Amino acid sequence: VAAPEIGLAELAKRILAGDRVALARGITLVESRSAAHREAAEELLALVNDRAGAALRIGITGVPGAGKSTFIEALGLQLCEDGWQVAVLSVDPSSPVTGGSILGDKTRMERLSRHPAAFIRPSPSGCELGGVARRTRETIALCEAAGFDTVLVETVGVGQSEVLVRDMVDCFLVLLIAGAGDELQGMKKGIIELADLLVVNKADGDNRARAEAARLEFTRALQYLAGKEGAWQPPVLACSAQTGEGVGAVWDTVEQFIAQARGRGDFEVRRGTQQLTWLQTQIEEGLKELMLADPAVRAEQAEVVRRVAAGSLSPTAGARRLLAKIAKK
Amino acid sequence: VAAPEIGLAELAKRILAGDRVALARGITLVESRSAAHREAAEELLALVNDRAGAALRIGITGVPGAGKSTFIEALGLQLCEDGWQVAVLSVDPSSPVTGGSILGDKTRMERLSRHPAAFIRPSPSGCELGGVARRTRETIALCEAAGFDTVLVETVGVGQSEVLVRDMVDCFLVLLIAGAGDELQGMKKGIIELADLLVVNKADGDNRARAEAARLEFTRALQYLAGKEGAWQPPVLACSAQTGEGVGAVWDTVEQFIAQARGRGDFEVRRGTQQLTWLQTQIEEGLKELMLADPAVRAEQAEVVRRVAAGSLSPTAGARRLLAKIAKK
């Protein structure tokens, strides 16, 4: 991490001026796990906090094979052509230590990565979920500081990373494809529920009719999962990321969703709630760190967990035992 | 709370001997909010912990008007007749301070409440969700200590109480009724997902055909929400709590579910996970209490929350500011 060379104030200044190299350095700093870097990262974030929240944040996930990268490239290119400054981040807690997604993303989104208005930053490798959440939120803030007005956050369709991304974006989009018969079969139930908008991709060539049938099928299935009355009912669209057909309509719908959310005040509420949830998470993490930094607690913890899981110690008594070590200070 | 009169050791002894009066006293003790009572409650729970986990714990929720009380009474009576000792608890964080559900439950489950093998304890009033979780878990433990081998935990079909109950039971049952056309319409999506078993109630008289149609409709809709391959696919049954028809089959299915879960080791894993989650929750709550007991933290907290929600302070900086007050000790 080269940040100290130029000083944090200078780094912040360059990021705010839209300097891509400085932005990349800043992101590397927030990704670092060293304690010294962490402190520097927080200082940097404080220096650029005025711009935090400036971008429209869109989360994108999809079933495997849905063509996420192709879709993000098509959407990103259209947005860039329309004058948006687009940052693409990916969240992949499952990526191997060697950093599997980096080469993949750059290769797959080759055209977008060459566009001057786009900035692509793959997921850092080897992070657990908590670390990924922190890094992604902080990277969004840095991209906003650097003047990006759209941040697309891509996540793989597995595990809890969708929930995590849903909780840091203004609109969450789920990419689907036409399957054989049981359209929603095998999909993680939770993902669909998180969607503000669903898109059946690969509606092209021979697949067009199947995609349209899938779209109707999804639309029908979603009616069974209606939310509160008056709430946004997630629409299901179809598009072809490959030909570009329908991709513009997807963005129009995103903008409709945002406009409606802003009109109702839901937009600000969602953002405010996300901020407070994140505050809460960080307080809890910080408290646990403080607790586990205590040698007396660490000595006892494994024993408590073992006995609670086995049922020989009640969770209440276990918690009390660990907390007593702290409270005595 | 009369516990101190006879001493905790004696109270524990009586509870373990199945004394209903002692059990009720113990529950009143765990429901109390006084700090002294809390300490006594934890001591009592430690004294009876050997029996913790002895009962089959069944969670029951339902859409409004699904006939939950009638169903629980019918099921409870059948279980009592079959030789089970049945405790019925209710979780209702929304109940008014005057204790709306107490009279209601006793009145509605009149026959069950008179059965010698049954014990009905309504939700205490005026608790927030966290308090309700603690009280219900601890009440389950006391009922198990008193020899009950089935605990039915009823929850109202609103808010987060289902998630809370799902996380303390071995099987979660959702009660439905035939609606007009769109069967799942208007239901909270999340509830269905939590179900291990769904039951369409009121399948009697003129309503029988509609209930059967609803059952098929729900079965079909659930196929779109399939979980992992090989996982338990929640079946949809129909019954009439009023005539008793089908209620026995519901219990048979509960037992099949439990048998399968035990066979696969899922039962123990679910219990162990629930215990560890509860340990974690209590550690976090305890840490927050310790933190908020600090006058310096309390003085700063409101300001931090206000600024984070408004966006003028980053959640990271806010958390750091509050944590710094603690770490200095």
Rounded CA separation A195/A175 (Å): 9
Rounded CA separation A18/A146 (Å): 4
Q: Which of A224, A283, A329 sits opposite B184 (nearest CB)?
A: A224
**For residue B26, what pLDDT is reported?**
96
pLDDT band of residue B84 (cuts 50, 70, 90) is very high
Closest C-alpha among B202, B254, B198 to residue B67: B202
- The pair phi, psi for residue B181, each rounded to 5°, is 85, -90
Share of chain A above pLDDT 70, in %: 84
- Mean of the pLDDT values across residues A57-79? 91
For chains A and B, CB pairs below 8 A equal 158
pLDDT tens digit string along B256-290? 999 999 999 999 999 999 999 899 888 888 888 88
Q: How far is CA A162 from the centre of its chain?
A: 7
**Does the beta-carbon distance from A186 to B318 stay under 8 Å?**
no
Q: Please give the DSSP secondary-structure letter assigned to residue B64.
A: T
**Does the beta-carbon distance from A309 to B46 stay under 8 Å?**
no
Question: How near does any CA of chain B get to the CA of A290, in Å?
Answer: 7
Which residue is associated with the tokens 């840490």? Answer: B287
**Does the beta-carbon distance from A315 to B141 stay under 8 Å?**
no
Is the distance from CB of B106 to CB of B120 less than 8 angstroms? yes
Q: How many CB atoms sit inside 10 A of residue A293's CB? A: 10
Mutate to test the interface with B, among A50, A225, A232, A291 (most CBs of B within 10 A): A225
Share of chain A above pLDDT 90, in %: 49
- Chain A partners within 8 Å of B304 (Cβ): 279
**Does the beta-carbon distance from B283 to A322 stay under 8 Å?**
yes
Question: How near does any CA of chain B get to the CA of A184, in Å?
Answer: 5
Q: Which of A45, A229, A283 sits opposite B319 (nearest CB)?
A: A283
Question: How near does any CA of chain A get to the CA of B112, in Å?
Answer: 31
**Does the beta-carbon distance from B283 to A288 stay under 8 Å?**
yes
C-alpha dist (Å) from residue A178 to A131, B252, B266: 34, 38, 33
pLDDT band of residue A101 (cuts 50, 70, 90) is very low
DSSP-based three-state secondary structure for B96: coil
Is the distance from CB of A47 to CB of A9 less than 8 angstroms? yes
**Does the beta-carbon distance from A314 to B52 stay under 8 Å?**
yes
- Chain A partners within 8 Å of B316 (Cβ): 42, 45, 138, 278, 282
Question: How near does any CA of chain B get to the CA of A296, in Å?
Answer: 15
Rounded CA separation B12/B18 (Å): 10
ipTM: 0.76
Question: How near does any CA of chain B get to the CA of A304, in Å?
Answer: 9
**For residue B52, what pLDDT is reported?**
87
Above 70 in pLDDT, residue A136? Answer: yes
**Does the beta-carbon distance from B224 to A186 stay under 8 Å?**
no
**Does the beta-carbon distance from A316 to B272 stay under 8 Å?**
no
**For residue B309, what pLDDT is reported?**
87
Structure tokens at A265: 């005040």
Above 80 in pLDDT, residue A71? Answer: yes
Mean pLDDT, chain A, whole residue set: 85
- Chain A partners within 8 Å of B315 (Cβ): 275-276, 278-279, 281-282
CA angle A202, A207, A212 (to 5 degrees): 80
More confident of the two residues A134 and A144: A144
**For residue B103, what pLDDT is reported?**
43
More confident of the two residues A98 and B244: B244
**Ordered DSSP codes for A92-125:** -TT--TT-HHHHHHHHHTHHHHHSTTEEEEPPPS
**Does the beta-carbon distance from A313 to B225 stay under 8 Å?**
no
Question: How near does any CA of chain B get to the CA of A110, in Å?
Answer: 34
**For residue B96, what pLDDT is reported?**
43
Pure H helices in chain A: 3-6, 8-16, 20-31, 35-47, 68-81, 100-108, 110-114, 129-145, 161-166, 189-194, 208-223, 247-264, 266-292, 295-310, 315-327
Name the residue in chain A with its Cα closest to that of B321: A283
Mutate to test the interface with A, among B43, B49, B275, B307 (most CBs of A within 10 A): B275
